[in-house]
Chains A and B, each alone.
Chain A
Amino acid sequence: MNAAVVQVDGLIFDYPTQRALFGVDCRVDRGTITALVGPNGAGKTTLMRCMAGLEMPFAGSVVVAGLDVLADPRRAHKHMGFLQDFFGLYDDLSVRHCLEFHAAANGIAPAGRRQAVERTAERLNLRDRLDQRAGTLSRGLRQRLAIAQAIIHEPDVVLLDEPAAGLDPEARESLSQLLRTLSASGMTLIVSSHILSELEDYSTHMLILRDGRVVEHCPISGEPAALRQLRLVLSEPVDDLAATLAARHGVDGVLLTGATVASFGFAGDLAAQRRLLADLIGSGLPVAGLAEEVRPMQQVYRDRLRKDGPQANQERWSA
């Protein structure tokens, strides 16, 4: 298990007439990409702003890279980057000057600033735009510059709020690639978005918020789950398939989805899965296939919200 680089405990945040976060707890492991999803008004942006130290919660704590964000936000900011849904660029400055400002503002020593600007511009494909005014860049390039500003100090954690909003398909694909690259370089990303199909491209974890509460925080791919979902396909129907499967070690929750197809949870790694397959074939079952069932993120999200019941009414405090 990776060490937690973001630890949120009991976070409560109130707006004047409404509680936005109800004691949110979560931990985000280093090097992961967490998709922060939820319906409108779930508290995603509020949670991100609290994590960033931009809002003071009523109660709770946020620790990033071992630093208490609420007690010492300025030190914690050296370890964080935040891309908001608006880019917040200085249009009258050149790309180089924008990057130099953020390098200096985030505590990079003068000797290392030039190198940091060059490295970040290279990473974001902005090298040939360094002397162009930020105000003259296209939306896609402005977004790249905003990301460059957020990561120029090589933060441990980068928060991205709706980073793909307003981008064309090509720019979105490019963004996905960029986020994977950042993650591979060791940064931990928390990405809030409504476009689940895109989040699926690069996210390793999903954090579902609803009505200001965490309703699910689970790995999506790339990490072993406690109970994987397997799908067995037979070449011809057999009697008592459910009972046969349920009798096997590690099998749980068998669901027959057709005469020759069964879906079930399996607590075991790939070696255990191989042994299960050999056992099933050895017992005479006409096995045509046994594979992990990958549920699209959209399906996990919908299933989880459905399980959680209809959207609760937000009780207003207003008079």
Chain B
Amino acid sequence: MNPEFVRNLRLECSAHRMIAMPLILGLLIAVGWMSGSMESAAATANTAIGILLVLWGTRLAADSVLGEVVDRTWDSQRMSAIGPWAMTWGKLFGSTVYVWYGALACLPLAVIAGATQAAGDDFLPARLYASGLLGQATAMFLSLLLLRGRPQRLRLRVTLTQALAIVATLPFIIGAVLYSEPSRASDHLSWYGVDIPTFDFLFASCLVFVAWAVFGCYRLMRLELQCRTGLVGWLAFSVFLPAYLAGIHIVVGRAGLPLPAGRLGAQVFVAFMTALALTYFAAFTEPKGVTHLRGWLHDLGARAFGRATTRTPSWVVSGIVCLGCAGATVAAFLYGGSRDAMGFAVFTAALLLFAVRDIALLHALTLDSQRQRGHLAALVYLAVLYILIPAFLHAADADEVVQAFVPTLDGNPVASTVPVAVQALAALGLAAGKWRRLAHRAPGPQPRGAAA
């Protein structure tokens, strides 16, 4: 059996804990049953499943790798011969095995109690299990992602990771609970023109995202274990997510989103915005140290494309997808015959320019990766650029200049792009200057003749 899973079993599943969990859960559910009905017993069981898997499980999953780093056992794991996939599932399911034990112990009662109800969702426990697994896989994914920057204050980051994972899971948990109400059972959602019960769509989406989260963990684990890892996985996700979200029907007009060019225009625009968000996400979470980028450029220069692929920053991949989506957006609007087409095309171009500015600024502040506060500084400067300066301009009755700092849908084509292009060039200049200082300096003393 997977040695990492067995190790976790030994740590998590002592005889004392194995007895304590069902006893406590049994008492809790009995309290629910005695104070109400079978229905309240089922609700208690389902709540217990949610708390165990989502609140506690995400904590354990986030701690599964970061905890090893804190306890200084991670290097010995990295030195083992356990493969990345075995390490991934061994940690994901091993670290959370105890909460799964508790959650599965609730299952018979949740099912029996649920079945006695006249109306309700028989599959609610299954939806909660799927949401719990999504939360845990997301927590582990985020913890591995944070680990790439070799961060400090890891315990704090475990909490941060857990919180983010819970937030990522919330739509599915809320959906599972909300749509278990009989009155919502008939709600439907249109995805690429196909009507699907919202209930089923959420459950299927949850399962798909579980698969992606586990795959993401596997990919990051490969990187952590120094296995060469290509970009196909991230490219696939960068294509999948925009395509997935673009398919969800947006009610034009009623939702207050004045998108022209019909459903196709809306779809490509959503795809573009999603790809843009992924590019930002990758840019903020990728290691951006000068050593990393220098290695990548060196491999490109040496035409070692296989190795260069493994070092290519993920934001470049998402950025390429984003550019493709931007082109499709502009084409859809221009050829869609909308009277606002030019406005949308300009807006799309402005968004791209803002992205160039922001990513260049981010690199200028983080190329020297000894600066732990580089990301924080970038966030502060972006807040100044996006919030403080526009607020100041607004207060100074210079509203027409605001579009130089905030993407504006109905902006002047020149005023909303040229100043942003200038800012982007300035940020690129900053990043290039930093790069020159860091990368092209002599790398220390020259080799001595005595060197063996």
Which A residues fall within an 8 A CB radius of B?
14-19, 22-23, 25-26, 52-54, 56, 58-59, 70-71, 73-75, 77-78, 80-82, 84, 86-93, 97, 101-102, 104-107, 149, 211-217, 307-308, 312-315, 317-319
Contact = CB atoms under 8 A, between A and B. Distances in A.
B450 A308 contact: yes
Contacts, number: 137
Contacts of B295: 56, 58
Given A53-B79, A318-B438, 18 more contacts: A16-B289, A18-B444, A52-B79, A77-B80, A78-B81, A80-B79, A84-B75, A88-B72, A90-B11, A91-B71, A93-B11, A101-B3, A101-B7, A102-B76, A104-B3, A105-B82, A307-B450, A317-B443
Interface in B53-82: 71-82
Interface centre among A74, A82, A89, A313 (most CB of B within 10 A): A74
A315 B441 CA distance: 9
Given A77-B80, A77-B81, A105-B77, A93 B225 contact: no
Given A17-B370, A74-B81, A102-B80, A22 B444 contact: yes
Contact of A217 (B227, B228, B294, B452): B452
Contacts of B294: 14, 58
Contact of A213 (B84, B368, B370, B447): B447
Nearest to B74: A88
Contacts of B383: none
Nearest to A55: B226
B290 interface: yes
A87 B76 CA distance: 9
A314 B445 contact: yes
B4 interface: yes
A115 to B, nearest CB: 17
Interface residues of B, number: 46
Contact of A215 (B74, B368, B441, B452): B452
A319 B290 CA distance: 13
A73 B79 CA distance: 8
Contact of B10 (A86, A87, A97, A312): A97
A89 B452 CA distance: 37
Nearest to B437: A319
Contact of B291 (A15, A23, A90, A314): A15
Contact of B6 (A73, A86, A101): A101
B369 interface: yes
Contact of B445 (A56, A73, A312): A312
Interface centre among B80, B225, B298, B434 (most CB of A within 10 A): B80
A4 B145 CA distance: 38
A309 to B, nearest CB: 8
B448 interface: yes
